[in-house]
Amino acid sequence: MGKADNILQTLGDFTSKENWDSFFTIRGHGDAFEWYAEWPQLKDPLISHLPSLSKTTSPQILVPGCGNSSLSEQLYDAGFRCITNIDFSKVAISDMLRRNVRERPDMRWRVMDMTSMQFTNDTFEAVVDKGGLDALMEPEVGSKLGSQYLSEVKRVLKPGGKFICLTLAESHVLGLLFPKFRFGWKMSIHVIPQKPPSKPNFQTFMVVVEKDESTALHQIESSLNFSLLDGGDQTRELVKTLENENIIRQKCSSGADLLLSLEDLQLGAKGDLQKLHQGRRIQFTLGGQGTSVFSYRAVLLDAREQSGSFSYECGVFIVPKTRAHEWLFSSEEGQWMVVESSKAARLIMILLDETQSGANMDAIQKDLSPLVKQLAPGENDSGSQIPFMTASDGIKERNCVFQGTSSLTGSIVVEDVIYEHVSNDASRIFPTGDLIFRRLIFQRTESLVQSEALLTRERLHETVSGQMDRKRSHSSSKSKNKGKKRLNKESSDQMKVYHCYLASSYHLGIISGFMLISQYLESVASARTTVNTVVIGLGAGLLPMFLRACMCFLHIEVVELDSTILKLARDYFDFTEDADLTVHIADGIQFVREFRNSGAKDSSAIVLDNGNSSHVKHRGDTKIDILIIDVDATDSSSGMTCPAADFVEEPFLLAVKDALSEQGIFIVNLVTRSPTINDMVVSRMKGVFNHLFSLQLEEEVNEVIFALPSEFCIKEDLFNESALQLEKLLNLKHPEIRQSIVDATKKIRCLK
């Protein structure tokens, strides 16, 4: 292996100018380096898609990121004389200029960054890219450079011009390329023949994109014969990405309400943005990919009645993450109500989420300002300021009862709050008086409330209201609740956590999944034996306490890594242990693995009992019947807020399957906005478990996944019967909570 091959393997960052300068210097003059396919295989498919040669003129062709490939030279010799080559490596351009100045005098060479080209609009009939886009799409860098480059390609191409991209067609590259050329472009994909008799590790593909003069949406055409491809991961990823993109394009063509980008809108995907269209509503993503610090989920709404009595032609309404799930902001009907009250002819509603966590409102408004100006109607071209309006976070009163730090968890806050709005479940249980909620918050994920409990006085614990005529609304740890009495430290100090009520909708969703094993639970309850239940992630201990109270046949072991959390649960959330509810201060993954290995030898874990550490041994025949994962990720930058990534890796999933009893169930609280991550987690779980079910909570990011290890599983036509079985097993004080759990069972769907 030569020096150049060594440095190519250790380049590391393919976007670094300095690295490429070093690479081309070591290779020396006249030594061409080819990415992917070579000219004999490229010639026919490439030339067939280039503009036709005429006797008078030759099409203007741009080759970005040319390096020292011989591709331009081969095209020149084939008759295409008007070729401009650019590369940000001065070493490469100098070498290629020396190599061609005499033999190919009409060819032009320029040192230039392909993500910021110095050409006027509509300059070239064709742009030929051989591996340039792939090199920009380094995983560590993300899609920013790739997006900037493709925007430049779109700008410099003439109407009718073609972008020809030679690529390995990896999913993250196509995931940018396909949407970027969705509206107003014709696209096709082809395979480049392999050099016989060699069989390279990766197949080269050619994506051809033609600039249409309309904003029409076309299906991606394909000349691929998949039966002739190797069928490996590369081909499978391509097929899946291509099918998904064509489904999206078909839905867009049919008028389906899909999440578009600002660029899609500017290309006319939903009509002319410069004009107000009465009653137009568009959901889209705003910013990101180098255009702003954050990416935003947004809705554009043009007032349904263009009466002319508006205070603003265009306004922006920012909804905090803690309120984004509310009906007023998440439903179409509620959003129109906001438009009417805003007095804006066009309202751009920005729904914040955990990706903006830590940023103050001033920073967010500064980030949004240049973006929303592009969405203002033409009538707002006078330069008038676009007003920003903000929904409050829903908290009417707040009192911090604890603030401290743990070496494992970081900064922790316990606070008592009164909300501006109320969930009807809570109001039906306590129809009079103010409702105070106690919240546990980790500052590392400040926008996510870890646990939320209802505080009551002892004398109210027996108060039950059967008022069923009030409209039901969704309740969650991130809901906003209404209270009237002023919150003060003295009043909350006299109150206790009410463990007969769960404020978090996903906790009720977790319990609804017990329906899948209700027949087994009923047999255990009848036999007066116990169901071994493990909950990984204590939080404030609300779910274990609720389960202990309503299903006395459960033997519950909670695994919590941080002893500080256990102390807070005891001191501030009235969490108590007994013979059938214990807490292990241990690593959750290791704890499950010990269960898996317990058939060969006894396993032990540290248990805290009244503050004293001791070891408890599990019997060799112990299996877990119910395993619940409810832990947050210490670093949510991966796109997954819950659980921590290790809990959905295949080795742990296999350990879970081994640790579960034949009748057992594995439950994961999954929180991610990324469809890719969601699909990845579901795919991994499908590969391990025999049956998989999902509960997507309305107006929530949470999705609860239920996995069963057994060969046999309840049929969907028996769900109603199983839900009734579960209902009978629940010893609950409040019929409203029982009904919420039963209602959730009706939304569980089969994934496998």
| 440, part of any domain | yes
Domain-ending residue, one of 256, 273, 299: 256
Regarding whether 427 and 357 lie in a shared domain, the answer is no
In a domain, 349, yes or no: yes
The verdict on residue 475 lying in a domain is no
More confident residue, 487 or 606: 487
Angle at 113 between CA 109 and CA 115, to 5 degrees: 130
Q: Is the predicted pLDDT of residue 99 greater than 70, yes or no?
A: yes
> What is the structure's pLDDT at 262?
75
Residue 336 has pLDDT above 60, yes or no: yes
Span between the terminal Cα atoms of the chain, in Å? 48
Mean pLDDT of 104-125: 94
Question: Do 201 and 162 share a structural domain?
Answer: yes
pLDDT of amino acid 445: 67
**β-sheet bridge partners, residue 188:** 208, 221
Q: Residue 611 domain-assigned?
A: no
- Are residues 93 and 190 part of one domain? yes
**Residue-wise over 97-125: b if at least 16 C-beta within 10 A, else e?**
eebbeeeeeebebeebbbbebebeeebbb
Residue 605 covered by a domain: no
Dist. CA 533–CA 541, nearest whole Å: 14
CA angle 510-716-548, nearest 5°? 25
Residue 615 pLDDT class (50, 70, 90 cuts):
very low
Helix (H) or strand (E) holding 520: helix 518-527
Tokens 């004293």, residue located = 612
Identify the residue with better confidence: 123 or 20.
Answer: 123
CATH number for the domain spanning 541: value is 3.40.50.150
Q: Beta-strand (E) ranges in 528-681?
A: 531-536, 554-560, 581-585, 603-609, 612-618, 624-629, 640-642, 660-672
Q: State the Cα–Cα distance between residues 126 and 49, nearest whole angstrom.
A: 9
Domain edge (last residue) among 256, 279, 299: 256
Same domain, 530 and 640: yes
Share of the chain above pLDDT 90, in %: 44
Which of these ranges, 371-385, 511-525, 539-553, 730-744, has the smallest mean pLDDT?
Answer: 371-385
pLDDT in tens, 22-77: 655 555 555 555 667 889 989 999 999 998 877 667 899 999 998 888 999 999 99
> Do 560 and 708 belong to one domain?
yes
Among 429, 507, 508, residue whose Cα is nearest residue 468: 429
Please compute the mean of the pLDDT values over residues 729-739 and round it to a whole number.
91
The reported pTM is 0.51
Q: Residue 444 belongs to what domain range?
A: 395-456
In this structure, is residue 223 part of a structural domain? Answer: yes
pLDDT (tens digit per residue) in 152-205: 999 999 999 999 999 999 888 998 899 888 888 999 999 888 776 655 567 889
Is the domain of 429 the same as that of 561? no
Residue 486 domain flag? no
Would residue 179 count as lying in a domain? yes
Q: Are residues 364 and 428 in the same domain?
A: no
- pLDDT higher than 70, residue 678: yes
The residue among 424, 508, 498, 489 whose CA lies nearest residue 459 is 498
Q: Which of 390, 405, 437 is the last residue of a domain?
A: 390
Q: Are residues 537 and 659 part of one domain?
A: yes
Do 57 and 139 share a structural domain?
A: yes
pLDDT computed for residue 84 by the predictor: 96
Those residues whose C-beta lies under 8 Å from the C-beta of residue 226, and which sit 6 or more positions away, are 235, 239
Per-residue pLDDT tens over the stretch 698-723: 666 789 999 999 888 888 888 999 99
Q: What is the mean pLDDT of residues 630-636?
A: 81
The helix/strand/coil state of 582 is strand
Enumerate the β-bridge partners of residue 668.
629, 705
> What is the domain count for the chain?
4
Specify the amino acid at residue 268: G
279 vs 619, residue with greater confidence: 279
Q: Are residues 286 and 423 in the same domain?
A: no
Q: Please indicate, yes or no, whether residues 437 and 365 belong to a single structural domain of this protein.
A: no
Residues 83 and 100 placed together within one structural domain of the fold: yes
Contact 583, 612 (CB under 8 A): no
